[in-house]
Amino acid sequence: MTEDLQKKAALVTGASSGIGEATVRALRADGWTVFAVARRADRLAALEGRTGAVAIPADIAEDDDVSRLLAQVTEAGGIDTLINIAGGARGADKVGDANTADWEWMYRVNVLGTLKLTRAFLPMLRATGAGTVLNLTSTAGLDAYEGGGGYNAAKFGQHAMTNALRLEEAEHNVRVIEVAPGLVQTEEFALNRLGDAQSAEKVYQGVEKPLTAEDVADVVRYAVSAPHHVNLDQIVIRPVAQAATHKLIRKA
């Protein structure tokens, strides 16, 4: 292990499941110090036991939790890499039938949560002289689709914020990376969005080899581990069966 690698430290949100959890495991396997953040303390504790990551339960959209999180990470030595993975979707209503509460939740988690955490940790990342912010968005933030209006709006917002941040922070040598996955099969995403197992299963039905959380985590690991002068501005990752947002191959 090199001296540089020993100094690498990241905070990963959404760490209690899916892509966030897989990212924690991938970085710890490479020797990173990792602060694993999510709301579910029990799952974080189990992840801490398996990987040696530092578990910090917190809701990134709550100001008091963000302040506490910043204080704990600062006391523990700080980070040079912030990986914003926490997010999610609720509902598949068309705009004319939109559920306001679902839209508000998606904006709060995907946009405001990312904003609050990034704003809090930017001074620390600037001070390292070579900080990194990676935001996990979605291809839903690049192409709209029917029934996706709320999630599209939230992810388009997060995508735009990421682009603005890159322009603003280049002078501080903070690189800003966007990873935008397409169809990823995880244990909770479709279930949380649609509310029942049968509907969630239909999302992936007939699709040969959708992406896994580990697939995306490996791309995240690579992007933040590249030499600092290499900025992978935007990485779009889809399964081969998904040639575009609107073209998904399903087999009988």
Kindly give the confidence (pLDDT) of every residue in the chain, 252 residues in length, as a single tens digit, with 9 standing for 90 and above: 333 544 699 999 999 999 999 999 999 999 999 999 999 999 999 999 999 999 999 999 999 999 999 999 999 999 999 999 999 989 889 999 999 999 999 999 999 999 999 999 999 999 999 999 999 999 999 999 999 999 999 999 999 999 999 999 999 999 999 999 999 987 766 556 666 677 667 777 878 899 999 999 999 999 999 999 999 999 999 999 999 988 989 887
Q: CA-CA distance, 250 to 252, in Å (whole number)? A: 7
Question: Which residue type does 252 have?
Answer: A
Say which of 107, 145, 151, 222 is annotated catalytic: 151
Q: CA-CA distance, 4 to 198, in Å (whole number)? A: 47
Contact 205, 249 (CB under 8 A): no
Q: What is the pTM of this model?
A: 0.92
Q: CA-CA distance, 122 to 132, in Å (whole number)? A: 9
Q: What is the torsional sign of CA 95, 99, 102, 104?
A: positive
Distances (CA, A) of 100 to 105, 107, 137: 9, 11, 21
Verify whether residue 145 is a known catalytic residue. Answer: no
